[in-house]
Each structure stands twice: as C-alpha cells, then as structure tokens.
Amino acid sequence: MSTNQEGLGPLFRRLFPGRRFIVVSNREPYEHRWSEEVGEIAVRRPAGGLTSALDPLLQNLGGTWVAWGSGEADAAVVDKENRVLVPPENSSYTLRRVWLTQHDIHRYYLGFANQFLWPLCHLRPDLTRIRSRYWERYRRVNRRFAEATLEEARGEEAAVWVQDYHLALTPLFIRARRPDVTLAHFWHIPWPPIDIFRLSPQAPYLLRGLLANDLMGFHLQAFADNFLRCAHRLIGAEVDWDEHTVTLDGHTCHVCALPISIDVESFREIASRPGTEEQMERLRARYAPRGGAIGVGVDRMDYSKGLPEKFKALEFLWERYPEFRERFTYIQVAVPSRSDIEAYDSLSEKVDRQVWEINDRFGTDAWRPIHLIKQSLPAERLAILYRMADICIVSSLQDGMNLVAKEYVASQIDRQGVLLLSEFTGAAEEMKEAILINPYAPEDFALLVRDALTLPLEERRARMDALFAGMRTIFDWMNDVFTDWGGVVSGRDGSGVARGEFAIPAEMS
Ligand code: ADQ
C-alpha cells in the first residue's frame, strides 16, 4: 500500500500537463432528488468504490464528469448546457448530465448493456437477448455520451477516461472528431474467450469502438489476452504479444492488466470505530442466539454471483454434518439489482424459495440457518458485519474482480475470519491465502466450508495476515492506470495527436 489520495492530482498534472481531466461513465456521482419537504431538492451520492475514489480526484483537478442524469430532480438543477457544479457544498468540478428517455433506458441500458453484453461477458450466452432495437439505441446513446464529452473538452487538450461496458463505442465517436484527445477505457467485467465473444453479431464494431483508445484496461491478463485474440482474429488487427499492443488502421492501443482494489483505510477506520464491538455483540445475539459461528455474503442479486450454488453447498453442510445445525448461521445481504430484467426477477424468486426450504428443513424454534437481507446497506453496517463474520463466502460463477472479498479482509480488525473465494473471480488471482472454492461442485464446496469453520485460530490468523499484507488500494490502482496511460502518451511523437484512420463504419452510425 503506497499511493495516497492526495498524490493522485499532482501525478495526473505531471503526466498530462495542460490536459483537462474528463471521466465518462453511465452512473453519475451525485443524484438530485425531490426531498420529503415540498419543493426541496436533496442530493444523494450513489454508493460505490470507484465513484468515491474518483470524486475527490476531480475535486482536486477541477475537471468534468459526464454521466446519465438519473435523478428525478436532476434536470431541475442544471444550467442550459446541462451542467451542474458539484459537490453541492463546495463546487469544485462540473457534472455534465446526459439524458436518457424510457426507451433509452430500456434498450441501451437494460437491453444491450445488461441483457446482451453482461451475460455474454459472464459466459452466459444462453441468457443473451439479441434485438436490433437494443443495438440501434446503444449506438445512439454512446454517440450522445461522445457528443457531450466533446462539448466538455471545449476544444482544449483533454485526457478522457471512459468506464465500462455501457460505453464501448464512445471512444471511436470521440476520436473520429478529436484525434488529439487521449483516451483510456477500463472494462470492469470479464472479457470472454473468442468462441463466446464471436457469438455477438456486433463484435467487429464493439472492437473498433474500443480500439480507438490509447489504453484499454482489464482486471486480469487473461481478459486482456482474450481481447487481443478477438481483435486479431475477428477484425484482423495486428497484435504485438510482447508489448501487449494492438494496431488497427494505423492506431495502436495498449492493453493492460490493472487489477482494481478498494479504499482499504476507509473500511478499517469504519470497522474499528468506538462502539463497534457492542454492535457486533448485539448482532451475534440477534442472528445466532444459540451461539456458534457466523458466515456472511454480500452480493448484488445477480446470476453471476452464484447464490443458488452457495445455498446448495450450505444445504449439504447442514445435511451431512449435523453438528453445524444451530452452531453455524449464515447472513446473506443481497441487494436487488436490474429487477426489470426477467432473469434477475426469477433468480430472486429462486433464492427466496431455496432459503425458505433450507430454513424450513433445518431451522428450529430458536434458530434460523440463513438470514436473507434483501436491501442495500450503508458501508458502516457492512463493515461491522464483515468484522463480526467468522467466514465470508464469495461464490461467483464469473467475476471481473469482486470487491467484497477485499472489503472483508480490510474489515477484519480481529484477524480471525476466513475468506472462502470462488476460483472464478479476478480476486482469486491475487488472494491466494483464501480458501479457493469451485461453486459448481456443491459437495466439495460444503467440505471446504466445514474446513474453514474448524481451522485453528493460528492458521486463520496466518492466512488473514498474509491476505492483508498483499492488499493494494484503489489509489494504487489509479496510480497504475495513470502511470501506464501517461507512458503511452509520452511515448508518442510528442504532438499528442494519435496517428491512424478513425472512420466510423456505416453500421455504427
Ligand atoms: P459488481 O458486479 O457490482 O462490480 P463487486 O466487485 O463485488 O461486484 O462490487 C459490489 C459492490 O457493491 C461492493 O462494493 C459491495 O460492498 C457493494 N454491495 C453489494 N451488495 C450490497 C448491499 N446489499 N448493500 C450495500 N452495498 C452492497 C463490477 C464487476 C466486478 C468488479 C467491480 C469493480 O462485476 O467484478 O470487481 O465492478 O471493477
């Protein structure tokens, strides 16, 4: 752990002298809502590690954040250019809002992004919905984000950082008009192997959109390699496997593995606040009235997170090893997510049913095996749960990184917990001292839960200390992104203008 938040502003200025910093993402860092008081507007800061890390940096640099204006009162506070200064108490940077209609939300966000790209990238082609109207709207909205970004660049030199799978085409739409802007993109979810990605009828255009970047970041080298292979085989781009670069129509994009992390200190600070121990006692008495161990899971209700697989394994545990009945209680926090999509709705019902059946089968008058909390909890409550839990289970079937695993380790002030981590998460590449599980094999999974619950304290401590020692922070990650990106820009001919042809194929307009 080395980089601190304060060092990032000066680092950016040194690496990108004179460039305006612009972040582009689907979600916005501040949402305006009508409050209970008639006519009053309240500001909400949507939770999320990346937002909380980028916000202070933008406050320091005074740049612009371009995002979907999703708050119901957002339109009431912007100026005629759709801009509002944030944060409200200390105007430091510009939030430029992009408006989405109900059709846009349905087709671009819920449609192409979340019913096509998300399942495809999580190796679930069976759940993809291919609709031409989704693709048409995805193009249109991506172009809208690009236009807003171009206006915000105001003809000045700029460094634009685009986030995630919602905006794969935006880089090319920007680049085609402003080759002098430097562009980086971070893809937060897996990039699938070519045999899956090629199922996409739009594969060539998605690749072209992303190859307009100077830097393309993934959590793992394996995802970066999948991307390079797709670019080479599907559109004939030239790949340099030693340099991890890919060149198309004269422009070179650097493809890097940059594993994300969390604000470790913030979780530790919250988990060690005065009064936490008393709250832990209260929670133990409430959830595990017969004593014994407590396990925790924190996930969005998403089919990639392996919740049914986890509950299947826990069912095996209580069935085969009755000594854990009344001696091990599991708390699952599962925030509802994308519930307008059928696959999410049916997952939620399935999980409800499964939990009900397990509780009915093994529960007693004094003890409920699984507590399912279907709501979003503030970081303060999550940190207490993480600190209290004897084990934390992350059972994703596929996951770009998985921040929950890192949040659990950061909050383990008493160094006694055990992390069970799916080998199919990006985090498993770094967190070798976790107990690695295969969520597809419920009996082996159950055995490993049993092992975790019976590990001697000394070994739990040794594992947790090693996990903690290996933790990097989200600020280290941003430092790495800027350093790699800055290296690419300074390695160019000095003019800052990207070379290459940036024509937009007719199918993309
Ligand atoms: P997600 O799929 O959202 O992120 P994850 O990395 O686990 O997955 O992050 C979830 C975040 O939401 C965590 O910070 C967690 O604390 C929070 N959260 C979950 N349930 C919550 C609840 N009930 N209440 C409050 N907070 C809750 C995507 C990719 C991941 C990648 C991240 C970051 O899918 O693979 O790690 O982006 O790049």
Query: Tokens 């650097």 correspond to what residue?
Result: 254
Kindly report the protein residue whose alpha carbon is nearest to atom 1 of ligand 1: 402
| 302 CA to centre of ligand 1 in angstroms | 10
Kindly report the protein residue whose alpha carbon is nearest to atom 3 of ligand 1: 300
Residue 400 CA: nearest ligand 1 atom is 35
217: helix, strand or coil: strand
Give, for 487, the enclosing helix (H) or strand (E). helix 474-490
Q: Of 320, 316, 312, which is closest to residue 351 (Cα–Cα)?
A: 312
Which residues have CB under 6 Å of ligand 1? 47, 49, 188-189, 260, 298-300, 333, 335, 376-377, 382, 399-404, 407
CA distance 241 to 260: 23
CA distance 348 to 339: 9
Question: Residue 93 is encoded by which pair of tokens?
Answer: 């940077």
Give, for 247, the enclosing helix (H) or strand (E). strand 245-248
466: helix, strand or coil: helix
pTM for the model stands at 0.97
CA distance 298 to 387: 13
CA distance 462 to 441: 27
Residue 50 CA: nearest ligand 1 atom is 33
Kindly report the protein residue whose alpha carbon is nearest to atom 4 of ligand 1: 402
| 408 CA to centre of ligand 1 in angstroms | 12
Kindly report the protein residue whose alpha carbon is nearest to atom 37 of ligand 1: 188
**Residue of 185, 298, 477 with the most ligand 1 atoms within 8 Å of its CB, for mutation:** 298
Q: Mind listing the pLDDT tens digit of every residue in the chain (509 residues)?
A: 467 888 999 999 999 999 999 999 999 999 999 988 777 899 998 777 788 889 989 999 999 999 999 999 999 999 999 999 999 989 999 999 999 999 999 999 999 999 999 999 999 999 999 999 999 999 999 999 999 999 999 889 999 999 999 999 999 999 999 999 999 999 999 999 999 999 999 999 999 999 999 999 999 999 999 999 999 999 999 999 999 999 999 999 999 999 999 999 999 999 999 999 999 999 999 999 989 999 999 999 999 999 999 999 999 999 999 999 999 999 999 999 998 999 999 999 999 999 999 999 999 999 999 999 999 999 999 999 999 999 999 999 999 999 999 999 999 999 999 999 999 999 999 999 999 999 999 999 999 999 999 999 999 999 999 999 999 999 999 999 999 999 999 887 666 677 888 889 888 88
CA distance 199 to 225: 18
Question: What domains are there in the chain, each with its CATH number?
Answer: 5-99+143-260+475-498 (3.40.50.2000), 265-469 (3.40.50.2000)
Query: Tokens 């809208």 correspond to what residue?
Result: 144
